[in-house]
Amino acid sequence: MYHNTLSKKFFQRAKDLIPGGVNSPVRACQSVGCDPIFIEKGDQCYLYDPDGNSYIDYVCSWGPMILGHCHPHVVSAVSEALGQGTSFGAPTWREVTLAQKIVEHVPSIEKIRLVNSGTEATMSAIRLARGFTGRKKILKFDGCYHGHADSFLVKAGSGVATLGIPGSPGVPEEIVANTISIPFNDRDAFTEAIDKEGRELAAVIMEPVPANMGVILPDEGYLEFVREKTKQEDILLIFDEVITGFRLGLGGAQEFFGVTPDLTCLGKIIGGGLPVGAYGGRKDIMDQIAPAGPVYQAGTLSGNPLATAAGIATLEVLERPGTYESLGEKMDYLANGLSEIASKHGISCINQRVGSMMTTFFGRKAPVRNFQDAMQADTEMYGRFFRKMLKEGVWLAPSQFEAAFISLAHDWETLEFTLGAAESAFIHLANS
């Protein structure tokens, strides 16, 4: 019989010491109606908890673990770096190697600056855009998440959407007054916003494939449309590829869709599970950053030796031929399988996927094209699905508004097992 006594005990202690017992809100599992599972260790596509349960991991640390846990190439690269010292506050060759790889692969990036998280990357990118253009406002899309900096906490995705809060206390009105948020995939809303605010907009920032309100695909031609419009008004286009970078291919969503932004934010995968973010783009813009230019941004641990070692090793494995084809095939198999089983048992849901990321939106048959659609999903049903899958040994994102990821370590047998578990879960849902 499944039990998680020790996880519950740890969580009780954690709640006395850490707000909500967690260091990032969605981990608390509130919206799916259970307590968090504490993780003791990971190995390949499996997670292990202190109560002796194991789970197939479809969260992959919210994206970074595209090779699975403890990939031998990453373990040996990080171990080697560890033996040489963990931080110097001076340049190292690994930073240059990681920068070189990113510049080679990501079409928009001619120069790159490494930071410590996706949040740092996006907040630095908009400071740069403001410094470069001399304009103040930014435009974002409802349900997109760009980290937790003040400017982005307006109709944001991820935990903000999961908890159902519009913004956050502590963010001054004066700051969010400079952030405009409009629906994704809506050309009229975009044109209207540009007509009204275009001259004051420093940047349009977007997840080219939104994945923090669940996975949503850009309509055919939508990214091209946004690119064209921003160019006409000299507004910088920033792709937040913290999730899609090195997930949809080595060149990210921009290569996948053939649309090149001015600046790109990266994170997650490029750190191979260690804390890394980055922002990069056109040389003339990037050279505005200190000490090359006047826009200030710095970091004690930026370009950290362990983090860059993990990042380089991760990219080296991803560069091997056939990687993304294999990830894509497996995700197709999983998504198609889920759709088939769901319709067999009369469960109404839609699987939206691209590459190796996917969201199953419950209670929806029509495509989910924006935040408003996503909010119609049946979160209570998702919660029941989540809890049943957990007991079957499958670890899904503890929120309807997040993506499921697979890694290179997910093999066919694991996927087969997952489909079996999903079938039991759907039968359970159909009969309750």
Interface residues toward ligand PLP, by CB under 6 A: 117-119, 122, 145-147, 207, 212, 240, 242-243, 267, 277
Residue from 354, 346, 397 nearest 159 by CA: 397
Nearer to ligand PLP, 122 or 418 (CB): 122
20, 135, 381, 385, 419 from 342: Cα distances, Å? 34, 49, 13, 12, 10
C-beta neighbour count of 291 within 10 angstroms:
7
Mind giving me the DSSP string for 407-424? Answer: -TT--HHHHHHHHHHHHH
CB of 25 or CB of 267, closer to ligand PLP: 267
CA–CA separation, 111 and 103 (whole Å): 7
Helix (H) or strand (E) holding 76: helix 72-82
Q: Which two tokens stand for residue 94?
A: 């690994």
Kindly tell me which of 49 and 207 has the beta carbon lying closer to ligand PLP. 207
Residue closer to ligand PLP by CB (options 44, 212) is: 212
Task: Please answer whether residues 385 and 301 qualify as being in contact, where contact means their C-beta atoms are separated by less than 8 angstroms.
Answer: no
Work out how close the CB of 271 gets to ligand PLP at its nearest, in angstroms, rounded to a whole number.
8
Give me the least distance between CB of 243 and ligand PLP, in Å please.
4
- Least distance (Å) from ligand PLP to the CB of residue 299? 13
Of the pair 368, 397, the CB lying nearest ligand PLP is at: 397
Give least dist CB 204 to ligand PLP, A. Answer: 15
Give the tokens for residue 192: 């209207």
> Catalytic residue numbers?
145, 240, 268
Pick between residue 212 and residue 418 the one whose CB is nearest to ligand PLP. Answer: 212
Beta-carbon contacts of 175 under 8 Å, excluding residues fewer than 6 positions away, are 150, 151
Residue nearest to ligand PLP (CB): 118
User: Minimum distance between the CB of residue 270 and ligand PLP, rounded to whole angstroms?
Assistant: 11
Nearer to ligand PLP, 198 or 271 (CB): 271
Angle at 167 between CA 214 and CA 350, to 5 degrees: 15
How many Å apart are CA 258 and CA 248, to the nearest integer?
A: 12
In whole angstroms, how large is the CA radius of gyration of the chain? Answer: 21
Q: What is the three-class DSSP state of 300?
A: coil
* Minimal distance, residue 62 CB to ligand PLP, in Å: 6
**How far is the C-alpha of 113 from the C-alpha of 278, rounded, in Å?**
6
Strands 179-182 and 137-141: parallel
Smallest gap, in angstroms, from Cβ of residue 341 to ligand PLP? 28
Q: Is 73 helix (H, G, I), strand (E, B) or coil?
A: helix
Residue 350 β-bridge partners: 361
CA–CA dist 310, 290 (Å, integer)? 26
Q: How far is the CA of 335 from the CAs of 218, 329, 361, 405, in angstroms?
A: 19, 10, 12, 11
Q: Which residues partner with 351 through β-bridges?
A: 360
